[in-house]
């Protein structure tokens, strides 16, 4: 009989302690984790052999027809045929936060028309 009373008392104490633990956990708000990085890198497509500059480095499109470069802070343009072009032109991004860009055709003039 005493063992049964001790078991019931232990069960009641355990229930109260677990209840307090659960309530305390609910009151604590989880911190929200955010990342300020929106674009991880750029997938730049073009014709093999086309060259462009990004972050003061020259790149050549390989036979695959594209190259991927990592995004750098405070770099908002790339250079192609002496023109500075914006990287944030509304191009689509994939699931890995890579923005997909296409190099302009080499046979267009600076106003967008054919030569």
Listed by start position, the domains of the chain span 41-102
**Given the DSSP bridges, would you call strands 98-102 and 41-45 parallel, antiparallel or unpaired?**
parallel
Task: Give the residue among 33, 100, 37, 102 at the shortest CA–CA distance from 72.
Answer: 37
Higher pLDDT, 37 or 113: 37
Mean pLDDT of 90-95: 89
Taking a C-beta distance cutoff of 8 angstroms, is the pair 54, 75 a contact? yes
Tell me which long-range contacts 14-22 makes (C-beta under 8 A, separation of at least 24).
none
Beta pairing class for 57-60 and 83-86: unpaired
pTM score: 0.62
Q: For 23-52, what is each residue's pLDDT tens digit?
A: 665 566 778 877 777 899 999 999 999 999
């Amino acid at each position: 009989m005493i063992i049964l009373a001790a078991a019931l008392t232990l069960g009641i104490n355990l229930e109260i302690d677990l209840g307090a633990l659960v309530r305390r956990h609910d009151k604590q708000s989880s911190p929200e984790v955010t990342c300020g990085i929106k674009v991880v890198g750029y997938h730049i497509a073009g014709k093999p052999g086309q060259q462009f500059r990004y972050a003061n480095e020259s790149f050549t499109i390989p036979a695959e027809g594209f190259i991927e470069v990592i995004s750098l802070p405070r770099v908002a343009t790339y250079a192609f045929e002496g023109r500075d072009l914006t990287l944030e032109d509304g191009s689509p991004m994939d699931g890995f936060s890579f923005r997909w860009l296409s190099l302009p055709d080499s046979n267009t003039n600076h106003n967008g028309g054919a030569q």
